[in-house]
Structures are given as C-alpha cells and as structure tokens.
Chains A and B, each alone.
Chain A
Amino acid sequence: MVGAGGMSGAAPSGVGEVTGRSLPGRVLVAKPGLDGHDRGARLVALALRDAGFEVVYTGIRQTPQAIARAAVQEDVDVVGLSILSGAHVGLTRKVLDALRSEGAGSIPVIVGGLILPPDVPTLEAMGVARVFPSGTPLPEVVSGMEELCHRI
C-alpha cells in the first residue's frame, strides 16, 4: 500500500506549490477501497492546485484508517473522497467513523465519483458536506471547496 503521508506536498512540475497564509485551503484527496480509477481524483487535485489550494493526494487503495490519519497529520481543511466502484456508501461511512476516532470528526468530507442520484441524500444524511458526482464542472468543485475551507 502507498503510505498515505508519503506524497504530501508533492506538486506536479509546472504547477508550482503556493505557500503562506493566503492559501485558499489545504485539501486531502483520497481514494478509499480497492478501486483504481484515479482520473477524477487526479483531475480534481490538479484543478485545486491550479486554484491555489495545497493538495495532498494519497494515491489509490487507502484504508479508511490511513485516510483519517493522513487528514490529521496533514492538518487539512477538507477531505475529498473519490470512489468509482459503487461502494461509496459503505466506504464513506468507514472514513467518517475513522475521522471521528481520530478526533477529527469536524473536518468536512466531500465525496465525488460514480454516485447515483438516490445515494446523494444518503451520503448527506451520514454527514457528508457535499457530493460531486462525476461530470460536475470543475469550477463548481473548486468554489465548493473554497466555501468549506473558509467555514473553518
């Protein structure tokens, strides 16, 4: 498994990592479970970096516990989960539980990926701050993240 903290702060060449207090926020982009389709996660990570966010991308196949630990260690403002296998309800519940056990239950969690419309209220009822099904325009994801980061 990829160590969740192992890629912290790595910015793709050419993008240029922004540092300092004027940052819009610090985001953990994570892929829980076994699904390896990371096009969406990488796309969102790139878009957020372009918008000035500091982004930590965990890589694929992370356990809920590893994601929660990374969220605490990296002191992020938001945790973004990307799930395309269809197992989003079970996996999201586990990540929320793991965050609470790490004492980080207040970090807002957003979920993106192949999410069917009926599952959106289910996820929101569990405590997910926003759901961005695949196909959501990037500016919408970026502005949603900005709102969540500034709420803290």
Chain B
Amino acid sequence: MADVNESALQRIVAARQAWLESRDFSGVRDARTLIDDIPLDMIYTPADVVGLDYLEKLGFPGEYPFTRGSYPAMYRRRPWLMNQYSGFGAAEDTNVRWKRLLASGQWSVNLAFDLPSHLGMDSDDPMSEDEVGRLGCAVDSLADFEILFDGIDLATTPASFNTVGIAPIVIAMLIAVGEKQGLTAEQIMGTITNDILSVYCSRGTWIYPPEPSMRLATDLIEHACRYMPRFNPVNVQPVYMRETGASTAQEGGYGLAMSLSYAEHAMARGLTIDEVAPRLTIFFGASFRLFEEAAKLRAARRVWADVIKTRYAPQKKQSMGLRITGSSGGSGFIAEEPLTNVIRGTLGSLALVLGGVQGILLASYDEAYAIPTEAASKLGLRTQQIIFEESGTADVADPLGGSYYVEWLTDRMEELIRHHLAEVEEQGGAVDAVASGWLRSRMDPNIMKLQKDAEAGILKIVAKNAYVGADTQAPDVEVFQVDETAVARQLRRLEETRRSRSNREVRRLLDEIRIQARDPGRNLMPALIEAVKAYATVGEISAVFREEFGEWSEPAA
C-alpha cells in the first residue's frame, strides 16, 4: 500500500518476478471473474495496490468514501436485517407463516405478492385465473391487509414489500392499517421495492409506460420523505438485472444510474439531496464468488459517495453512504440436487456480509422448484444467524479490507462500474436507457455466454454440469402446493368487501384519483389513502390508472 517505500516496493516486484520465473506455471488453468472477464493473476502483492491512497479511497466505516462500510460500528451495533421472502395463498395463510418466522428470531416481515396483485388485477379478474395466491399472497383490498398484519405491531416490526406497479396503493393500505393499530405514518417502519426501472429490464411486472410510472414512484418517495421518516420508499433492484444476465459490474453501474434517477426525480419535487439520498436503498444480487461480490459492494459504495459529493454537494455525511441490501440464490440455485443450494446460499450470504450489507434476503434452497416450504425458509434464516453468531465474520468491519487482491479487485470493479454508469448517462439517463430497450439489449449477450459456458463446462456448477453422479436427477424435496381453498377464501372475501362497503363513496374516491392523475403536479398519495380506507380495490384503482396512463409495450426483441 501507500506506506510501502519505494525501495521495498522494488524488492517486492523483483522477488515476485523471480518467483514467477523460477516456478513452473505452464498448464495452470486460466482464471477470470464472472462475465466481466477480468483476468486474474496467480497472486497479488503490495505492487498491485501501490497507488492506493488509504484515506482517500478507503477511510473508515461511516466516513467518506464509505468503501469500508456505511455505518461506524457495523455488525457490532446490530446484525444485518435477516429476511426471508414469504407470502402465499390468502392473507391468513401468510399471517400464520409470518408469526412462526418471527417466533424463530426473524424481526421483520417481507411480503411476496401473487402475480395478479403485482399487475394491479383483482383476484376475480379473468386474467388472474390460475395465478391467485400462487407465487405470493393475494392482496385485493385493505380487508386483506387487516388480516395480514393482525397481531403484528407495525411500530416495532419493519414491514417490507417486494412490489412495484402497485407500490403507492400498497403503502396507502399500510398507512391505513397502521392507523387502525393506533399508529401515525411517522411511526411505521419498513421498505418497499417501488423500483419500476429495473422491472422494465427483467421480471416484467410493469403496468404503465415509464413516464407515469416514474411519477407514481416519485409520489411515494416524496410522500415518505416528508411524512414517513422510518420508511424506505424505494429499494432499487439491480438484482433483477443480474438475473437477466447483467455482469457483476453492470449490476453496479446500472443500479447506481437508476438510484440517481430516483434521486433526481424526487429533487425535482423540491426535496434536497439530504432529504432524498439517505432514504434510498439498493438491493444487489450475489453470486457465490466471495471476493468479486465483496469488491463490487465496496466499489459501489465508493462510486456512490463520490458521485453524490461531486454533483450535489450534500450537507449531511449520510447522504453519501449507500445503504445496501442483498440476496443470493435465484437462478444460481439448481434443481438437480437441491440440498447443494444450502451451501450456495451460505457462500452468497457470506459474500454479502463480507461486502458490508445492511440486510439479506436469502432464497430458500427449494426455490429452483417452487415457492419455499416453511422448513426451507427457516433454514435460510438459520444460515444467516450462524454466519452472524458463529463464523466471526461480523466481529470486525470490512474484514477483507487491505487484502492486496480484494483492494486491487475493488479498484477494477470501480473502473467498470463508473464505465457502465457513464454509458447509461450517455443514453440520457436510466429512464431513457430503459424505455428504448437499450439497457436490456446490453444484457442479452451475457445470458447466451453464461449458458454456453455452462454447457461447455467452462463454468462449473457442481451436481449440474460437474461431478454429476448417477443419482443426480432425482430431486427429493418437499414441494410447496398451492392451497385451492385459499383461492376460494380470497374470492369470497373480495365479494364480501365489495358488498359491505359504500360503493357510492368508492366511486367518488376513484373519480377523485382520476382527476388528480391528470395533473402531474399533484401527489396522488393522499387520494390513494382515502380510497383504500373506503376499501377501493387494487384492481379498481389500477384500472383508473390504466385508463389514464395507458399500458406499456415492450420494445421489440
């Protein structure tokens, strides 16, 4: 590092050269990082990090440039938020699962919605058939939220929601159900995805075109910045792009570009960078490659701190500290020998902890098959608890800091992240880069490369294309089954809700939403809160938006 004096450095360089020449390295395998293809040397030494200025590029946790972590005491103060994604069937089914996870030591709840809910369709919509309660919990109205959060104190239990197109409606319902618990919006804790830009590139749960979608997302961000100090109103999801083929560094660069876009939109509402930036969170995926993932997270924090400082001159230090959550699993999990995914999940979680994240949502080992069984979900939580309590990884901030290799790799990741961020900005920023299909087109070639590398055996996946045994084909996991009675219960509740509410009042409130939707200067949140309190449904409100905003069509592929 910088404290190695010049003659000592020359001796190291010379000794390294002599070592390389004196030993036989012919025929050793080539090593590169995943997709980014950064070629890796046999070993790294002080000569590889010679220009690294400690105070300028690393510093201390909680201090600019935040490479070593976003908070001073890191995991000595508190563990990362350990989350398991859960939600299925109808509200009462999810409520029972949540209560069991809370009893096992999880201290937050994270709701998975079913596809009709994500897309703003009620459970009785003809398009919803076959999908109600399948991939998550069906949510039609406040009546469902009242059951979901029964016995769960929103002032002490953070509630997280992984949804986008209906995000403002969901938070309107959360505020309404909080009121029924005697809480003000100020007291409610949690996070919502609300990142529409990522889902245009992957996952595909968009509803409206980019411009009105950004308006809805920004309405929620603005509302939370002003009235919900304990709630994170956007959790940018570059993890989706990772699943769609983005490289490690692309994930970093594109994710930061999108985060900047949300910050800019919120600042256009009259909020300052210090009101907006500390409210943004970002959610990265992690492969099982420990050092690359940790380097990416360290580099992403460094780039973010620099960009925010240079462009917006914040007054508050925390505006420059990127808060990161992450997940591992997804398409990296295999169906052939599902139990091997337990090990993969451990490595992915460890990579995220080594990278200093604030929260982890670990996919369950049976995810390659279906939504998680309760036992698999609990094992995901146990994995994280063991890393925290038993591995020693959480004892010292940024334990990889100072490794010649990791510092060198962090610098390479920083260069690439800056490059990808600049490319998006050359396209006019994240909104334009997404709307034109440009961003998606950057990732398609990677999917093909990954597939071909796996098929050629260049990319080794144990029990899938490497060390495959005779018995590898037979999966013996217990598969979660959708409860058909849940669909019937959900449909019955929706019908009862429509019958028992004042439909005249609902119509009036939907008309009010329509009028305000036509005026981009209005924040729709207050009108949404009123409408959901009168039990207007997700589908009814979204239908108004569909009529006013239209639906988006994908650019041709």
- Residues of chain A whose beta carbon lies under 8 Å from any beta carbon of chain B: 1-3, 6-7, 10, 12, 33-39, 42-43, 45-47, 57, 59-61, 63, 85-87, 90-91, 114, 116-117, 133-135, 137-139
Contacts and interface: CB of A to CB of B under 8 A. Distances in A.
B202 A47 contact: no
B470 interface: no
B441 interface: yes
Contacts of A33: 115, 130-131
B478 interface: no
A43 B556 contact: no
Contacts of A10: 556-557
Interface stretch (B62-70, B177-185, B444-452): B444-452
Given A34-B127, A34-B131, A37-B204, A59 B115 contact: no
29 contacts: A1-B553, A3-B553, A12-B444, A33-B130, A34-B115, A34-B116, A34-B119, A34-B127, A36-B205, A37-B204, A39-B202, A39-B331, A42-B557, A43-B447, A43-B451, A46-B447, A61-B204, A85-B115, A86-B370, A87-B130, A87-B134, A90-B130, A91-B130, A114-B370, A116-B369, A135-B464, A138-B452, A138-B455, A139-B455
B287 to A, nearest CB: 15
A42 B370 CA distance: 22
Nearest to A32: B130
Which of A1, A45, A116, A135 gathers the greatest number of chain B CB atoms within 10 Å? A135
Nearest to A1: B551
B453 to A, nearest CB: 12
A114 B441 CA distance: 24
Interface in B42-97: none
Contacts of A116: 369-370, 479
B129 interface: yes
Contacts of B402: none
Interface of B: 115-116, 118-119, 121, 127-131, 134-135, 199, 202-206, 243-245, 331, 334-336, 368-370, 441, 444, 447-448, 451-452, 455, 464, 475, 479, 482, 551, 553-554, 556-557
Contacts, number: 97
A37 B203 contact: yes
Given A12-B444, A90-B130, A138 B451 contact: yes
Which of A10, A34, A134 gathers the greatest number of chain B CB atoms within 10 Å? A34
Main secondary structure on A side of the interface with B: loop
Contacts of B118: 34
A85 B130 CA distance: 10
Contacts of A47: 448, 451
Contacts of A3: 553
A46 B444 CA distance: 9
Contacts of A117: 475
A139 B464 CA distance: 16
B130 A39 contact: no
A124 to B, nearest CB: 18
Contact of A39 (B129, B206, B447, B464): B447
Contacts of A133: 335
Given A59-B553, A85-B135, A135 B334 contact: yes
A85 B475 contact: no
Nearest to A14: B445
A7 B556 CA distance: 5
Given A39-B245, A45-B557, A138-B451, 11 more contacts: A1-B551, A34-B116, A36-B204, A37-B202, A39-B202, A39-B244, A43-B447, A57-B557, A85-B135, A87-B131, A135-B464
Given A46-B448, A85-B134, A135-B464, A2 B553 contact: yes
A61 B206 CA distance: 11
Contacts of A91: 130
A32 B46 CA distance: 56
B546 to A, nearest CB: 11
Contacts of A135: 334-336, 464
Nearest to B205: A36
Contacts of A85: 115, 131, 134-135
A134 B331 CA distance: 10
B557 A36 contact: no
A70 B121 CA distance: 25
A96 B515 CA distance: 43
A135 B461 CA distance: 12
Contacts of A38: 202, 204
